[in-house]
Amino acid sequence: MPIINSIAGMKDEITAWRRDFHEHPELMYDVHRTAGIVADKLRAFGCDEVVEGIGQTGVVGVIRGKGTSGSGTIRTIGLRADMDALPIEEVTDVEYASKTPGKMHACGHDGHTAMLLGAAKYLAETRNFSGTAVVIFQPAEEGGAGGKAMVDDGLMDRFAIDEVYGMHNMPGYPVGEFAIRSGALLASTDEFTIVIRGKGGHAAMPHLAVDPTHAAAQCVIALQSVSSRNLDPAHAMVLSVTSFETDTTAANVIADTVQLLGTVRCQSHEDRAMAKARLFALVESTAAAFGATAEIEWEDGYPPTINTHDQAMFAADAADDVAGGCLRDIPPIMPGEDFAYMLEARPGAMIFIGNGDTAQCHHPAYDFADDAIPAGASFWARLTERALPLT
């Protein structure tokens, strides 16, 4: 089945919602305007329940189908969209550009929210499914772990969700086309801060100092061995030292301390644990070898986003219905997604929808492709009707 006719007929309406969200971006958990509009629309659509304040500012709508699922089948499916924007100054010249300086929808969450609202309107009107569809509108995906906050607030148990699905736009793929993979789709997002302490002195007399700059440079080199010598060559990892800063700006002064900042991205829990252990061991031993000391702070970020196989292939089948095809074994990528927390709580999958030849996500010239809206909203509807067929 292609794009649903009634959803195609709603394209202008859904686009207007999307552009309104784009004009009024909100950050992290401070998505009160967006969440309020979402809740009001879900009530107007006739959702059976609309609950606000899940995970601080998340919104959940419950839509019950015409029939009831039989014993042993899926009873409730969760569909998730994110609502928050980014602290980026927009440089597009579109008429609906951000009206808030320093904030913009640079990752397409405005489109994600609008497409799921369109699907909710269709599902509430037709109800051609058994069981229950739960539409989930999440705050604080961009660094705030809003997905975890909603799970911790009882999302899955409170609404008896059996499976959960997410969708994210992907620049570079043709508009409205779909792509997915089983297993790791996106990476973990851990960060570290390293402070190397030595003994400062005159650069002309290094033998009287303990040079933390030299020790820190050796640490940077040593850390590259984690991916080249400790990681299975068939796996992927990014370990990047992104900042190297001393406490002096003088050319003739050996610093007392050096601070390193960086990130580690892995596609499995096992590789993530290995990378952390190796980082601590390498930095501490390398600093000690040069007479310095190391202080390390590790900040756990999002876990890897891992699609369960059956649900990933099921989502691909639903995408086939809408677009006449779906790439099913794309390479994983190294950004992170806090939908990972929902996938740790329930079986499910995230799928990509093409955004065309646009600026990349998180770029100040990015914009969501409105022509993807009919396919995205139709995907949600078909996925629900396939997961919860009428009996």
d(CA 146, CA 34): 15
Residue 21 has which token pair? 């969200």
d(CA 253, CA 205): 10
How much is the pLDDT for 376? 97
d(CA 216, CA 299): 20
pLDDT at 188 over 60: yes
How much is the pLDDT for 70? 56
pLDDT at 68 over 80: no
Mean pLDDT, range 137-165, rounded to an integer: 97
- Across-strand partners of 104? 86
d(CA 255, CA 201): 7
Q: Give yes or no for a contact between 113 and 137, defined as CB atoms under 8 angstroms apart.
A: yes
Q: What is the pLDDT of residues 94-113, one digit of tens each?
A: 999 999 999 999 999 999 99
Percent of the chain with pLDDT over 90: 96
Q: Give yes or no for a contact between 14 and 98, defined as CB atoms under 8 angstroms apart.
A: no
Residue 197 has which token pair? 């302490």
How much is the pLDDT for 67? 75
How much is the pLDDT for 359? 96
How much is the pLDDT for 1? 56
pLDDT at 170 over 80: yes
Q: Round the average pLDDT of the chain to a whole number and report it.
A: 96
- Across-strand partners of 164? 78, 348
Position 346, amino acid: R
How much is the pLDDT for 69? 56
d(CA 211, CA 254): 6
Q: What is the pLDDT of residues 211-254, one digit of tens each?
A: 999 999 999 999 999 999 999 999 999 999 999 999 999 999 99
d(CA 145, CA 339): 9
How much is the pLDDT for 391? 75
Residue 383 has which token pair? 């996925």
**Banded model confidence at residue 71, pLDDT cuts 50, 70, 90:** low
329 CB neighbour count, 10 Å cutoff = 11
Q: What is the pLDDT of residues 117-136, one digit of tens each?
A: 999 999 999 999 999 999 99
Q: What is the pLDDT of residues 17-66, one digit of tens each?
A: 999 999 999 999 999 999 999 999 999 999 999 999 999 999 999 999 99
207 CB neighbour count, 10 Å cutoff = 6
SS (H, E, C) the chain: CCCCHHHHCCHHHHHHHHHHHHHCCCECCCCHHHHHHHHHHHHHHCCCEEEEEECCCEEEEEEECCECCCCCCCCEEEEEEECCEECCCCCCCCCCCCCCCCCECCCCHHHHHHHHHHHHHHHHHHCCCECEEEEEEECCCCCCCHHHHHHHCCHHHHCCCCEEEEEEEECCCCCCCEECCCEEEECCCEEEEEEEECECEECCCHHHCECHHHHHHHHHHHHCHHHHHHCCCCCCEEEEEEEEEECCCCCCEECCEEEEEEEEEECCHHHHHHHHHHHHHHHHHHHHHCCCEEEEEEECCCCCEEECHHHHHHHHHHHHHHHCCEECCCCCCCCCCCHHHHHHHCCEEEEEEECCCCCCCCCCCCCCCHHHHHHHHHHHHHHHHHHCCCC
Residue 80 has which token pair? 């998730």
How much is the pLDDT for 224? 95
364 CB neighbour count, 10 Å cutoff = 14
Buried b (16+ CB within 10 A) or exposed e, 94-113: eebebeeeebbbbbbbbbbb
